[in-house]
């Protein structure tokens, strides 16, 4: 091998050594040294003179140096975030401050990326204690100093040991002093004290590596860190643990406290369900298959909310706020079943408000947005801001056109389906549930569409659409009706696509199966001009909307986003190293999800929780989500394009934008969602192209394959044998998988979450429960007489009770709120993405596309021809606008499911 001499400004010669390494599997001429040639003078050492992204040619300069060259002095600057109410929170000196003063706060070790060339073993680490050099309310810095030998090589990892008695949140570590500039280690992690866990924490630099490209000196650490995160599946998890493991949903019930609160285990052959994070809590005394309840639920420490989010969401709202508000409401509203007496009582929640009884906790300090302290009265006043829909049009909820519009641009725009078979017919066993034929007949539809088309032609031209909860809910009707204060039907709502592109409701069918010695009852309700028919139609809408609202909260929201995503997160942390490029790509989409899920299990979806108390299926609510998971959930259909095709709302068309032609052109959720989906897909494609040369690189990535295998066979174990799971063999497969996951956690979740207060805050628009039967189900019943005399009272009794409505509106206000430290898609470049110019450029292009989408959404909302998002009193569709300010805004797409 020949060396080419290069003349420098001094007399010392330097050399470029030709070599032909394999760059991403392709032979590429460069000047990169992979091994020292035997003929190379031993008194010379090699130094890298420049480097770009990993695909660029890397040049190595051989510089004549003396064997006795001095070591490099390197500083490690450790940046720690002061915690609120914890470490560094006060100026008083404690034991940890004394540790700082002694200069022994953190033991920092530098780990070489290279093996010893002679022994082929890991090089000895270089250690120093870091001492505190700076302290403020926003940051504390520590400094360690090292003498790094000339032959130490690059630093491949840092080991840190916390000598404090309390944990600390390490934001980053920067090594300064190397010839090529600073080396950054982004940590963003809680560092436990040594006395709690003697295992040293390892942090890897921001540069990403596939498993096969891991520097030799840190291969062992990479695998050991993953083993630590997996744990051994034994014992109860401690608060400081960082262990990710799986369990079934066996912690929702509380049979030890009350037999009526016992609930079946979700997960397994009887009740299929995704898996959650294992906590290892002791078993229930009365049900050995279930865990006992506790006031706190373990999540791996780094999954906990940030300090800012703790204050703005967890501590002051869902946890403390509801814990204080619910007893106050109970004291205020002694009768939990009491309905609103008149509609003006509903309006008063948004106008005058209601005084809350005095208590030990000032609720106004916990829920300042909705509870104010009135000094003159000396009491807390519960008063809600009018939702955007109500603020624009107080009577919006009554209009049929709004009923149809919201199926496309409302809170649950992902359930409307194209009618493809006629006549409508149930697939349930008629021996059990009664005749399968729908009462929505051809003659009835012909009458409603007034000769536009015969039914067959309307179906052929894709003009009929349906919200169909008939077969899903009918098997639950008998069990739900045994619960006091609620009722249930199987339901269908049929819509016609008008020439203006809007959906007009045609008919609602409600069905009760044979029960209590009575035959099947089914009735069709249609818009009409007669007063009795008008009120029956309105009541039928209340039932359908309650069903749709329950499906939205339990399936479209909880199951499809929160619940289904947790296994992706657990598997990623168990199988993908923190230095894996796919881990770093998906990590922003996983932040805080496990903690919000734990909070939901604690107070929202648990037995006797908010959902069971206030939604139609009541104690069967979460079981309903298991039924849907078993019957309907498919990973491939979480893809927005495939979901639209599956529901008949789109067909593949290479000439159309995004390759899809929408069945309803003005479909705001689909219009904006497809733009967002395409932006994600382009960004992910360019990112994956950078790290993977070809399909062989995908198939040989052991961590990636282990992750996807575990998602399918463990995280979603009850679905592991389904044929629809995507294979992971090509780059295109990987792009589709990560786009589906990212869309679910960001776009889909934003669409079904952040409009909750806007659309359901005024609950007559989307009641969570229908409490009474239709008055004509049994015309001899006294309810029929009351209905004929005072139909408004009948409706108010059917609506949620005062207690239910007030509780739900409070929760919806909290869940629709953007935290001040919300992380929106495209907002911040991850440090690892900054390391690679090609990746950084791709992300900047993605960010630019998001700005373009913002403007596009604004222009669509301003277009008077788009009647599903523009018109008098119509709230513009902004749920998929990428950014937002803090608060309840009805827009903004965060990276992750963080609320």
* Ranges for all domains in the chain classified under CATH 2.60.60.20: 72-204
Residue 789 burial class via C-beta count within 10 angstroms: exposed 0-12, middle 13-18, buried 19 and up: exposed
What average pLDDT does the segment 84-113 reach?
A: 65
Out of 250, 606, 753, 765, the active site residue is: 753
In 215-279, at which residue ranges do the beta strands (DSSP E only) sit?
246-247, 276-277
The residue that leads in pLDDT, 609 or 89, is 609
- Does the structure show a pLDDT above 50 at 314? no
Residues 666 and 868: their CA atoms lie apart, in Å, by: 7
Mean of the per-residue pLDDT values of the chain = 88
Model confidence pLDDT, tens digit, residues 402-445: 999 999 999 999 999 999 999 999 999 999 999 999 999 999 99
| Interatomic CA distance for residues 242 and 499, integer angstroms | 57
Band of residue 325 on the pLDDT scale cut at 50, 70, 90: confident
Q: What is the DSSP letter of 598?
A: H
**Per-residue tokens: 74:** 């390197």
Q: What is the enclosing helix (H) or strand (E) of 344? A: helix 343-348
Per the annotation, the verdict on 580 as an active-site residue is no
With a cut of 90, say whether residue 182 has pLDDT above it.
yes
Catalytic residue among 192, 589, 749, 818: 749
Contacts with 493 (C-beta within 8 Å, 6 or more apart), sequence order = 466, 467, 468, 505, 507, 508, 509, 544
Please give the class, per CATH, of domain 415-551+771-797. Answer: alpha beta
- Report the alpha-carbon distance of residue 496 to residue 190 in Å, rounded: 55
Active site residue 753: yes
- CA angle (367 as vertex; 363, 373 as ends), nearest 5: 55
> Which runs of E-coded beta strand occur in 316-463?
354-355, 371-374, 379-382, 417-418
Q: Is there a contact between 465 and 419 (Cβ–Cβ < 8 Å)? A: yes
**Tell me, what's the pLDDT at 62?**
35
User: Is cis: bond before 194, omega within 30 of 0?
Assistant: no
C-alpha span between 138 and 132 (Å, rounded): 14
pLDDT in tens, 839-894: 999 999 999 999 999 999 999 999 999 999 999 999 999 999 999 999 999 999 99
228 catalytic residue (yes or no): no
Of 192, 547, 562, 589, the active-site residue reads: 562
Interatomic CA distance for residues 608 and 258, integer angstroms = 10
List pLDDT tens digits, range 62-87.
333 344 467 899 999 999 988 764 44
Kindly tell me the burial class for residue 664, based on how many C-beta atoms sit within 10 Å of its own C-beta (0-12, 13-18, 19 or more). Answer: buried
Cα separation, 798 vs 242, in Å, equals: 47
What is the mean pLDDT of the segment spanning 731-744? 98
**Contact yes or no for 153/123 (Cβ under 8 A):** yes
Q: Of 550, 718, 712, 743, nearest to 644 (Cα)?
A: 743
Model confidence over 187-201: pLDDT tens digits? Answer: 999 999 998 888 899
Cβ–Cβ < 8 Å for 157, 202: yes
DSSP 534-554: HHHHHHHHHHHHHHHHHHIII
pTM of the entire structure? Answer: 0.90
Confidence of residue 165 (pLDDT cuts 50, 70, 90): confident
Question: Which pLDDT value is given to residue 166?
Answer: 86
SS3 500: coil
Mention every residue, 6+ apart, whose C-beta is less than 8 A from residue 892: 750, 754, 818, 822, 824, 881, 882, 883, 884
Is the alpha carbon torsion for 387, 392, 398, 399 positive or negative? negative
Name the band, by pLDDT with cuts 50, 70 and 90, for residue 51. Answer: very low
Nearest to 719 by CA among 510, 851, 563: 563
63 by DSSP, 3-state: which? strand
pLDDT of 382 above 90: no
pLDDT for 307 equals: 61
Contact in structure between 690 and 53 (CB atoms under 8 Å): yes
> What CATH superfamily classification does 72-204 receive?
PLAT/LH2 domain (2.60.60.20)
Cβ atoms of 613 and 550 within 8 Å: the answer is no
pLDDT at residue 672 greater than cutoff 60 = yes
Predicted local confidence at residue 138, as pLDDT:
84
- What number is the average pLDDT over the span 289-316? 73
552 as an active site residue: the answer is no
Domain 236-414+556-769+801-898 has CATH 1.20.245.10: yes
Cα–Cα dist 477/351, whole Å: 37
Question: Quick check: 95 pLDDT over 80?
Answer: no
Of the residues 543, 557, 580, 620, only one is catalytic, namely 557
**580 within 8 A of 210, measured Cβ to Cβ:** yes
pLDDT at residue number 26: 39
> 3-state class of 635 per DSSP?
coil
pLDDT of residue 318: 56
Going by C-beta distance under 8 Å and a sequence separation of 6 or more, which residues neighbour residue 367? 316, 317, 321, 325, 810, 814
217-234 confidence digits (pLDDT tens)? 999 999 999 999 999 999
First to last CA, the chain: 61
Does 319 score more than 60 pLDDT?
A: no
For the ranges 117-121, 136-140, 807-811, the maximum mean pLDDT occurs at 117-121
DSSP notation for 195-230: TT--SPEEE--SS---GGG--GGGHHHHHHHHHHHH
Report the sign of the C-alpha dihedral through residues 634, 635, 638, 639, in that order.
Answer: negative
Indicate the pLDDT class of residue 295, thresholds 50, 70 and 90. confident
Q: Is residue 28 annotated as a catalytic residue, yes or no?
A: no
What pLDDT was estimated at residue 97?
58
Residues constituting the chain: 899
Q: In whole angstroms, give the CA distance from residue 536 to residue 509.
A: 12
What's the pLDDT tens digit per position in 326-366? 777 877 888 899 999 999 999 999 988 888 887 766 777 77
Domain(s) of CATH 1.20.245.10: residues in the chain: 236-414+556-769+801-898
């Amino acid at each position: 091998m020949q060396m080419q001499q290069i003349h420098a400004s001094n007399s010392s010669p330097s050399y470029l050594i030709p070599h032909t390494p394999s760059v991403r599997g392709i032979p590429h001429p460069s000047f990169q040294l992979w091994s020292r040639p035997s003929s190379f003078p031993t008194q010379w050492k090699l130094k890298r003179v420049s480097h770009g992204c990993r695909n660029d040619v890397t040049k190595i300069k051989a510089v004549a140096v003396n064997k006795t060259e001095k070591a490099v002095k390197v500083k490690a600057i450790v940046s720690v975030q002061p915690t609120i109410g914890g470490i560094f929170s006060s100026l008083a000196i404690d034991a940890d401050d004394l540790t700082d003063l002694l200069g022994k706060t953190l033991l920092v070790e530098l780990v070489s990326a290279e093996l010893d060339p002679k022994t082929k073993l890991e090089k000895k680490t270089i250690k120093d204690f870091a001492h505190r050099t700076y302290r403020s309310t926003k940051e504390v810095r520590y400094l360690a100093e090292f003498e790094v030998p000339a032959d130490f090589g690059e630093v491949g990892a840092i080991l840190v040991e916390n000598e404090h008695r309390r944990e600390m949140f390490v934001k980053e570590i920067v090594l300064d002093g190397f010839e090529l500039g600073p080396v950054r280690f982004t940590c963003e992690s809680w560092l436990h004290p040594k006395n709690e866990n003697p295992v040293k924490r390892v942090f890897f630099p921001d540069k990403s590596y596939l498993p096969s490209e891991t520097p030799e000196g840190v291969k062992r650490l990479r695998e050991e860190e993953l083993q630590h995160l997996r744990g051994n599946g034994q014992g109860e998890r401690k608060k400081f643990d960082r262990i990710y493991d799986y369990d079934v949903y066996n912690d929702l019930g509380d049979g030890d406290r009350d037999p009526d609160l016992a609930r079946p285990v979700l997960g397994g052959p009887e009740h299929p369900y995704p898996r959650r994070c294992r906590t290892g809590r002791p078993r229930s005394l009365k049900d050995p298959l279930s865990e006992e309840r506790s006031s706190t639920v373990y999540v791996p420490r780094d999954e906990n909310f940030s300090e800012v989010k703790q204050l703005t969401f967890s501590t002051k709202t869902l946890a403390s706020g509801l814990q204080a508000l619910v007893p106050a409401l109970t004291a205020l509203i002694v009768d939990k079943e009491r309905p609103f007496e008149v509609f003006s009582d509903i309006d008063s929640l948004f106008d005058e408000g209601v005084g809350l009884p005095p208590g030990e906790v000032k609720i106004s300090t916990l829920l300042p947005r909705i509870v104010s302290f009135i000094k003159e009265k000396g009491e807390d006043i519960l008063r809600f801001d009018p939702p955007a829909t109500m603020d624009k049009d107080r009577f919006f909820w009554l209009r049929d056109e709004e009923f149809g519009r919201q199926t496309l641009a409302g809170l649950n725009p992902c359930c409307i389906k194209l009618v493809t078979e006629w006549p409508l017919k149930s697939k349930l066993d008629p021996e059990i549930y009664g005749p399968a034929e729908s009462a929505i007949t051809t003659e009835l539809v012909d009458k409603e569409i007034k000769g536009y088309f015969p039914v067959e032609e309307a179906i052929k031209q894709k003009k009929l659409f349906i919200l169909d909860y008939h077969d899903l809910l009918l098997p639950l009707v008998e069990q739900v009706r045994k619960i006091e204060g609620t009722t249930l039907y199987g339901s269908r709502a049929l819509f016609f696509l008008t020439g203006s592109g809007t959906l007009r409701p045609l008919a609602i069918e409600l069905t009760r199966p044979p029960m209590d010695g009575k035959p099947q009852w089914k009735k069709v309700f249609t818009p009409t001009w007669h007063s009795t028919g008008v009120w029956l139609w309105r009541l039928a809408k209340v039932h359908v909307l309650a069903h749709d609202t329950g499906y939205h909260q339990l399936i479209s929201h909880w199951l499809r986003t929160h619940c289904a995503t947790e296994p992706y997160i657990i598997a990623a942390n168990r199988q993908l190293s923190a230095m894996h490029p796919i881990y770093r790509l998906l990590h922003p989409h996983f932040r805080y999800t496990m903690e919000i899920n734990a909070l939901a299990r604690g107070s929202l979806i648990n037995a006797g929780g908010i959902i069971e108390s206030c939604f139609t299926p009541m104690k069967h609510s979460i079981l309903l989500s298991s039924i849907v998971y078993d019957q309907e959930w498919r990973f491939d259909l979480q893809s927005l394009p495939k979901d639209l095709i599956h529901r008949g709302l789109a067909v593949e068309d290479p000439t159309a934008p995004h390759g899809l032609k929408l069945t309803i052109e003005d479909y705001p959720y689909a219009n904006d969602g497809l733009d967002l989906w395409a932006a994600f897909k382009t960004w992910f494609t360019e990112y994956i192209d950078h790290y993977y040369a070809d399909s062989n690189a995908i198939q040989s990535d052991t961590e990636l394959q282990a992750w996807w295998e575990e998602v399918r066979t463990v995280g979603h174990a009850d679905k592991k044998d389904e044929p629809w799971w995507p294979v992971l063999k090509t780059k295109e497969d990987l792009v589709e998988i990560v786009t589906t996951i990212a869309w679910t956690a960001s776009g889909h979740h934003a669409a079904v979450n952040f409009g909750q207060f806007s659309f359901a805050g005024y609950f007559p628009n989307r009641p969570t429960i229908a409490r009474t039967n239709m008055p004509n189900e049994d015309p001899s019943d006294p309810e029929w007489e009351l209905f004929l005399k005072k139909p408004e009272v009948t409706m108010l009794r059917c609506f949620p009770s005062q207690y239910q409505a007030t509780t739900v509106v409070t929760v919806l206000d909290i869940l629709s709120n953007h935290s001040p430290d919300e992380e929106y898609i495209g907002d911040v470049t991850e440090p690892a993405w900054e390391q690679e110019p090609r990746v950084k450029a791709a992300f900047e292009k993605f960010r630019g596309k998001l700005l373009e989408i913002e403007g596009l959404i604004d222009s669509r909302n301003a277009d008077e021809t788009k009647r599903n998002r523009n018109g008098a009193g119509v709230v513009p569709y902004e749920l998929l606008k990428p950014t937002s300010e803090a608060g309840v805004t009805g827009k903004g797409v965060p990276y992750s499911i963080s609320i």
